[in-house]
Amino acid sequence: MINRWFLFLVFLVVGSGGGYWAASTDGLVVGGLIAVLWWLTLDTLRAGRFLTWLRHELGNESNGTATDAIPALPGIWGLATDRVSKLLVKRDRMLQEGQLRLDEFLAAMQASPSGVVLLDAQDRIEWCNQMATQHFGLDARRDVLQHVTNLVRAPAFKAYMASNDFSHDVSIAGSGNTPGRPVNLSVHAHAYGADRKLLLSRDITAVELAEAMRRDFVANVSHEIRTPLTVLSGFIETLQTLPLKQPDRERYLALMAQQSQRMQTLVNDLLTLSRLEGSPQPGGNDWVSTQSLMAQCEQEARAMSVLLAPNGHNLVFDAGPASDIAGAQSELYSAMSNLVTNAVRYTPVAGLIHVSWTVLDDGRGRFSVKDSGAGIAPEHLPRLTERFYRVDRSRSRETGGTGLGLAIVKHVSQRHGAELQIESVLGQGSVFAMVFPAARLRSVHAV
């Protein structure tokens, strides 16, 4: 600022001095006025250059184009240009950092496993992530500024938004919901800012399915245990209150032992399932001989066959090539034993049961159990591995089945990377097989 006044005084002195030299006292004032006008003109031109540059700079900023070169101006205008330029650079850097943070925030919301929808004060969509488009069937570009209730037409959702009470969530059917493949969403609105809203949605189909399975599981377990408990309670009361002859007493005790064994088998199967679901995956360093597994299964099958009928069944065991399976011995035996004993239970007396172990051409191993029983209708096959699912409930109870055997087989197969294959023709029998990957097999001769 001092330099500016100094330059003005210099102009004034020079102009006045020139006027005085040219026209004595009369030229003193005229020369001073001419000097002042010249200085003002020069200063106005510099101010104009500064304003033109600043106008272009702000215009380029709004258009996102490259900035103009900074003009070289002397004096205060040069200082102002330099300071404004630094402020603009600082502002640009802050804008870039802000935009970067915004992009990172939007990217984080885009990666969220929940659906996210931002609504303005009129409940119009401002932004939504990819998960929300899947949940509600939205289009992230087309549906911007559309009223959300015009696009999500579930009556429960409309009533929820109209109530303006967002202390709880609301459950609605999601996009793509069908009777055969239900899709259920939990939607929760959160108010923020100036009457804006944040909609969060999550797919609760699996949660509700798990809850339904839990309820069914508890109901099935209660039902399975209630029957033998009722029998035991009745027999105990009879033994306590009535004088019985020795044959009747022995028969009642035998029936009580049978029902007690049934409950013990059920509890053991439940504990096996719980252990399978809660324990770590079996490693690949423990090797189990297929020959020993086949021998154990054969011994159990023959004992059970004689127990069910004096004449037994026609049992054929083909141990195949000697091999080892990487996995847990107890789990593998439990799964294979369940397949074999199921075949014994559901195959008529003198029926054929063929159990075999083979190594396929691609190196995989196949444990299969083929029976000549009644077979299974096609509509039952997809549900056979569900807990407590039975094709014939009355016959399952007669043969001592708990309805958990194939569920155990499925879990063991998954834990060992094996594929459970089920083939059955009604009236012609069934084939149950576990196919193990080549990576979990080794030939005994190669050791």
Residue 338 or residue 57, greater confidence = 338
Tell me, yes or no, whether 219 and 199 share the same domain.
no
Tell me, yes or no, whether 150 and 66 share the same domain.
no
Tell me, yes or no, whether 133 and 32 share the same domain.
no
Residue 192 forms beta bridges with which residues? 196
Question: For the segment 255-308, what is each residue's pLDDT rounded down to a tens digit?
Answer: 888 788 778 878 888 888 888 877 788 877 889 999 999 999 999 999 888 877
Residue 337 or residue 310, greater confidence = 337
Domain hosting residue 85, numbered range: 2-105
- Tell me which range, 24-33, 88-97, 130-139, 217-226, is most confidently predicted by mean pLDDT: 130-139
Tell me, yes or no, whether 244 and 358 share the same domain.
no
Confidence of residue 97 (pLDDT cuts 50, 70, 90): confident
Tell me, yes or no, whether 143 and 28 share the same domain.
no
Q: What is the pLDDT of residue 446?
A: 46
**Residues whose CB is less than 8 angstroms from the CB of residue 320 and which lie 6 or more positions away in sequence, other chains included:** 290, 356, 357, 358, 359
Tell me, yes or no, whether 285 and 431 share the same domain.
yes
Contact between 8 and 42 (Cβ < 8 Å):
no
Q: What is the mean pLDDT of residues 151-176?
A: 91
Contact between 305 and 266 (Cβ < 8 Å):
no
Tell me, yes or no, whether 117 and 89 share the same domain.
no
CATH code, domain with 250: 1.10.287.130
Q: What is the mean pLDDT of residues 133-152?
A: 91
CATH code, domain with 424: 3.30.565.10
pLDDT surpasses 50 at 439: yes
Q: If we measure between CA atoms, which residue out of 397, 392, 368 comes closest to residue 380?
A: 392
Q: What is the pLDDT of residue 400?
A: 54
Q: Is 160 exposed, middle or buried (0-12, 13-18, 19+ CB in 10 A)?
A: buried
pLDDT surpasses 90 at 437: yes
CATH code, domain with 187: 3.30.450.20
Specify the number of domains making up the chain.
4
Residue that finishes a domain, picked among 81, 105, 129: 105
Q: What is the mean pLDDT of residues 411-428?
A: 92
Tell me, yes or no, whether 12 and 128 share the same domain.
no
Confidence of residue 447 (pLDDT cuts 50, 70, 90): very low
Least confident of 77-81, 250-254, 280-284, 362-366: 77-81
Residue 61 or residue 370, greater confidence = 370
Confidence of residue 2 (pLDDT cuts 50, 70, 90): low
Q: What is the pLDDT of residue 19?
A: 64
Q: What is the pLDDT of residue 73?
A: 72
pLDDT surpasses 80 at 173: yes
Q: What is the pLDDT of residue 66?
A: 45
Q: What is the pLDDT of residue 392?
A: 65
Residue that finishes a domain, picked among 82, 105, 128: 105
Tell me, yes or no, whether 145 and 221 share the same domain.
no
Q: What is the pLDDT of residue 382?
A: 87
Contact between 123 and 210 (Cβ < 8 Å):
no
Contact between 433 and 370 (Cβ < 8 Å):
no
Q: What is the mean pLDDT of residues 400-422?
A: 87
Q: What is the pLDDT of residue 168?
A: 92
Residue that finishes a domain, picked among 256, 279, 302: 279
Q: What is the mean pLDDT of residues 221-247?
A: 82
> Which amino acid, one-letter code, is at 135?
H
Q: Other CB atoms closer than 10 Å to residue 23's CB: what's the count? A: 13
Question: For the segment 13-67, what is each residue's pLDDT rounded down to a tens digit?
Answer: 666 666 667 666 666 666 667 777 776 777 787 777 778 877 777 666 554 444 5
Least confident of 13-22, 162-171, 207-216, 305-314: 13-22
Tell me, yes or no, whether 285 and 433 share the same domain.
yes
Q: What is the pLDDT of residue 298?
A: 93
What whole-number percentage of the chain has pLDDT above 90?
35
Tell me, yes or no, whether 149 and 192 share the same domain.
yes
pLDDT surpasses 90 at 236: no
In Å, how far are 260, 368, 382, 430 from 427, measured between CA atoms?
Answer: 33, 19, 18, 9
User: Taking all residues of the chain, what is their mean pLDDT, rounded to a whole number?
Assistant: 83
Please tell me the distance from the alpha carbon of residue 188 to that of residue 167, in angstroms, as a whole number: 8
Tell me, yes or no, whether 350 and 378 share the same domain.
yes
Residue 105 or residue 352, greater confidence = 352
